[in-house]
Amino acid sequence: MNILEIDQLSLSFGGVKALEDVSLRVPKDTITTIIGPNGAGKTSLFNCISGFYKPQQGRITYQGKPLDGLRPPKRAGLGLARTFQNIALFRGMTVLDNIKLGAHVHMKTGLLGSLVYFGRARREEMAVREEVERRIIDFLEIDHIRRQPVANLPYGLQKRVELARALAMKPEVLMLDEPVAGMNREEKEDMARFILDIREEWGITILMVEHDMGMVMDISDHIAVLNFGKVIAEGDPGTVQKNPDVIKAYLGNSDIESLRRKLNPNREAA
Amino acid sequence: MRIGDAKQTYVADEAIWTTSTQKFWFSILLLGLLIFPLLANSYLLYLGCLVGIAVISTTGLNILTGFTGLISLGQAGFMGVGAYTVAWLSTNTGLPFPITLLLAGLMAAAVGFLVGLPSLRVKGLYLAIATLAASVFLHFIFAEWESVTGGMEGLSLEPAHLFGVTFRSDFAMYFLIVPLAVLAVLAARNLFRTRIGRAFIAIRDRDISAEILGIPLLRYKLMSFALSSFYAGVAGGLFAYFYRVVTPESFPLTMSIFYLAAVIVGGMGNLLGGILGAAFMTLVPEALKLLTAALTPFFPNAPVFMSPMLEIIFGALIVGFLIFEPHGLAEIWRRVRRFFHLWPFRS
């Protein structure tokens, strides 16, 4: 079953076609990855799914229902969570408050309740705190930094906090925009492990954009390749890797042998 | 040095005062506020009332500007709405003060809600201009809607009363204003440890992320405007009971700037900063006047020389704070606390 289906989506800014007839399925309980060269439209596609961009054509179906016309907060309420390519945490807040914000849609306290902080309002806050501590902070191993302001944290940890915030939304589909970009090897391995665990233990479907081919091929169940706004290949990692169009899009030439020859001297020099 | 404050429950961990030292000092503060009017002379009592009103209004503006990131120059206008509501209600209906103050707050909140409507589209300085326009518009209504506001002459009203008790003197008003100010700050403190307060800060820090987390921007921005104006309305209502006369000139545009300056000097997005800023902005001009009076015996022409200088000195002080203490008075306070937490070690 497909939890998310994208049908013939087209998006253009003026004359620039960011997405052209993009169709894509995200099967439930899989790790689906979108790859493609810079400017291929991967993040634009994410923004269409989140509701920031309004595609001129096509439709996005989530759990069998069309998402047309829903504002981003509504989509969040339906269980679509997301992280950003360039970390979008609230820098003035502590790690704990950032994560709690993820639970915002599942909380009900109104303005008056907030002002008196008594009875139901307090119970709800405590329930959220407990759940965040037990399920998320423990799981992502960030208990030592929970009181720190996000702005002081190293990059890898900030990425992890952003993931924690998305998990607090209790999503059905988690969209990760370049989760390991700019990380060192150890941080990448941690993140890959978290992503696999999230799928296994939480039953969350993952839709990911990533450039790190090693990781993509290792953990993905399903891969779609975008180039110049079009899907040029789709399938499991083995199939996509062998697809000549994909090789051409990435390396600019389908003659692999000649490319190898070109690349080899560089490698020796390095 | 502060050690051994590990907590067993999340309730204890998220309390406002987490150590017995903090509870002790807060009790001392409350006790001090209680004893102050018994010892103070009428002038200090008058200043105490003014600071109390300023604290309520500044806290309100801090919620909007400091925590939600929406600059407003409408605070004096909203206070005016509250003051006129109280003046009109108490003269025409004779309702007791808890009801008139509540209605003043609600009326100001309704006006604030309307003024906040452009905030979805415009931010920063543009929003400041939009609220400035609203403030001018409100001033116009105060001056021209004579059947209700009494025009340029304004309205005068009877002192606040409840169950046969009349709050006529500054001494009595102090016991009306200061508890409300304490309550207003505590309510705001509560707000920022629950979901709504967090949503406000999220909008200030990164509004796109806030939307992705399911926070509808317009609804929360309007909520912030309404709450901030509610505080202003209550402060304005107390202002009306305090002076017992309300005219359009009671709430000039410079008053809005006064409150914005209080928020900035105190420390944006810091409730303690709002309190310190309000006290600073209210007391420093008075202190400068006292200084002038103290200098007069030695320099007979000090008043002539000093009175035009007061505004300049006051302005220079504010500029100085912005340069040397950009995080406001609250930051100084934080450093002092840190010193005592770490003592006998040094940071």
Q: What is the pLDDT of residues A180-201, one digit of tens each?
A: 988 888 999 999 999 999 999 9
| CB-count burial class (<10 Å; 0-12, 13-18, 19+) for B176 | buried
Which candidate from B10, B197, B202 shows the least CB-CB separation from A114?
B197
B167-170: which pairs have CB atoms within 8 A and are 24 or more residues apart?
A: B167/B97, B167/B241, B170/B42, B170/B45, B170/B46, B170/B49, B170/B242
> What is the predicted pLDDT for the residue at A238?
87
Q: How far apart are CA B145 and CA B246, in angstroms?
A: 14
What value does the mean pLDDT take over residues A120-149? 90
What value does the mean pLDDT take over residues A53-61? 91
> What is the predicted pLDDT for the residue at B53?
95
CB B96 within 8 A of CB B268: no
- Residue B2 placed within a domain: no
Q: What is the pLDDT of residues B124-149, one digit of tens each?
A: 888 989 999 999 999 999 988 988 88
Average pLDDT over chain A reads: 87
Q: How far apart are CA B137 and CA B73, in angstroms?
A: 12
* Chain B residue nearest residue A80, CA to CA: B212
Question: How many domains does one find in chain B?
Answer: 1
More confident residue, A201 or B305: A201
> What is the predicted pLDDT for the residue at B159?
83
Residue A266 in this model has a pLDDT that exceeds 60: no
Its domain, for residue B141, covers: 39-342
Closest CA to B53 of B248, B284, B240, B267: B240
CB B221 within 8 A of CB B113: no
> What is the predicted pLDDT for the residue at A10?
92
- Residue B313 placed within a domain: yes
- Residue B175 placed within a domain: yes
CB A200 within 8 A of CB A206: no
Q: What is the pLDDT of residues A146-172, one digit of tens each?
A: 889 998 898 889 999 999 999 999 999
| CB-count burial class (<10 Å; 0-12, 13-18, 19+) for A265 | exposed
Residue B96 in this model has a pLDDT that exceeds 50: yes
- Residue B280 placed within a domain: yes
Q: What is the pLDDT of residues B17-64, one digit of tens each?
A: 878 888 888 999 999 999 998 898 889 999 999 999 999 999 999 999
Q: Does A7 touch chain B (CB under 8 A)?
A: no
- Residue B275 placed within a domain: yes
Q: Does A217 touch chain B (CB under 8 A)?
A: no
> What is the predicted pLDDT for the residue at A255?
63
> What is the predicted pLDDT for the residue at B203?
92
Q: Which of the residues A94, A112, A117 would you substitute to probe the B interface, choosing the one with the greatest number of B C-beta atoms within 10 Å?
A: A117
Q: Which two tokens stand for residue B257?
A: 């700037």
- Residue B91 placed within a domain: yes
- Residue B13 placed within a domain: no
Domains defined along chain A, listed by start = 1-79+171-270 (3.40.50.300), 89-170 (no CATH)
Closest CA to B220 of A242, A163, A104, A8: A104
Q: What is the pLDDT of residues B178-231, one digit of tens each?
A: 999 999 999 999 999 999 999 999 999 888 888 888 899 999 999 999 999 999
Residue B327 in this model has a pLDDT that exceeds 80: yes
Whether residues B204 and A92 touch (CB distance < 8 A) is answered with yes
Residue A239 in this model has a pLDDT that exceeds 50: yes
pLDDT band at residue B122 using 50, 70 and 90 as cut-offs: confident
- Residue B235 placed within a domain: yes
* CATH for B232: 1.10.3470
Q: Does A147 touch chain B (CB under 8 A)?
A: no
Q: What is the pLDDT of residues B243-291, one digit of tens each?
A: 989 999 889 888 998 999 899 989 888 999 999 999 998 998 888 888 8
Q: Give the end-to-end CA distance of chain B in Å, rounded to a whole number.
A: 11
Which candidate from B191, B198, B204 shows the least CB-CB separation from A101?
B198
- Residues B230-241 as b or e (16 or more Cβ within 10 Å = b): bbbbbbbbbbbb
Interface pTM, i.e. ipTM: 0.84
